[in-house]
Amino acid sequence: MITGIIQILKALSDETRFGLIKLLLTHDFCVGALARHLEISEGAVSQHLKYLREAGLVRGEKRGYWTHYTVEKDKLNDLADVLRGLTALLPCKEGLCIKKQNVKIDCHKEGAKMCDCGCQYPEKLKGKPEECTPEQIKECHGDKEHPCEGKKKQS
């Protein structure tokens, strides 16, 4: 699903292909008519239409000598639904999403903890975790014991 959405977004990211989609949403056109409207060559239109067909955004229908193209509106509606879904994502309850060992953790997976790092808000630290002030500990971890406390005591 995501791969298809990315392919659609890439297809729409080109100004000419976006213009083709806008034209085809108003009327079915053949390559020649599209070329005249956009003032580009028929060869260029054909190449852009090929890209849009591969993304599943347009389909062609043979009508006599010419092929007329139409937009697959369901694909655009699917894309709109995905984008609307992105705006509905809630912030991670675990706090700031960080990287651990160069692996990005998806904090939106159900039941998955963002990471097992003690400091969930490392940007609030002024130095090493072992050097946290009591105020920083409270801001970063609330009333819980600081995970570095054990390390401090052992030093």
CB 88 within 8 A of CB 104: no
Number of other residues whose CB lies within 10 A of the CB of residue 141: 19
Q: What are the structural domain ranges in the chain? A: 2-76, 99-105+115-154
Residue 101: predicted pLDDT: 43
Please, which residues have CB within 8 angstroms of residue 77's CB and are 6 or more apart in sequence? none
State the pLDDT at residue 35: 97
Model-level pTM?
0.59
Given 3.30.428.10, 3.40.50.300, 1.10.760.10, 1.10.10.10, which CATH number is that of 2-76? 1.10.10.10
Question: What is the rounded end-to-end Cα distance, in angstroms, of the chain?
Answer: 51
pLDDT in tens, the chain (155 residues): 677 889 999 999 999 999 999 999 999 999 999 999 999 999 999 999 999 999 999 999 999 999 999 999 999 999 999 999 888 877 665 555 454 444 445 555 444 444 344 455 555 555 666 667 777 767 666 665 655 554 444 44
Residue 6 confidence (pLDDT): 92
User: What is the per-residue pLDDT for 129?
Assistant: 62
Distance CA 111, CA 7 (A): 30
| Dihedral class, residue 117 (left if φ above 0, else alpha if ψ from -120 to 50, else beta) | beta
pLDDT at res. 124? 56
